[in-house]
Amino acid sequence: MIGPAMPSAELLAAAAKLTEAQAELREAEVEEDDELFIGPPPPALVAEAESANEVERFEEVTRIMGAEPDSPYDVIGANRNMSADNIKKNNGRNFPGGC
């Protein structure tokens, strides 16, 4: 025989399933890419959250969950008409590294 041997039918079937699974995974990842990336919270924010009592935490979570999903202003409790500098000054704890 000249050249490499033909892969077995089982190996070809497994390769086809793997290819299909990889394609499904890529499609799922593309769908998730539409979401905003939210990274780890800054250490100062973690410390503030840990120092809050249960009622304060519940109120803040309720406020954030009630915010419009397409409005980052609602999430941080800022007015849409505020300048970027005022938003950063008033909500610096919400930005990585503070402001």
pLDDT tens digits along 5-26: 888 888 889 999 999 998 888 8
Q: Could you tell me the pTM of the whole model?
A: 0.35
Among positive and negative, which fits the CA dihedral 65, 98, 36, 78?
Answer: positive
Give tens-digit pLDDT for 42-66.
788 788 888 888 888 888 888 778 7
CA angle, corner 50, sides to 83 and 71, nearest 5?
30
- Where do the structural domains in the chain lie, given as residue ranges? 43-94
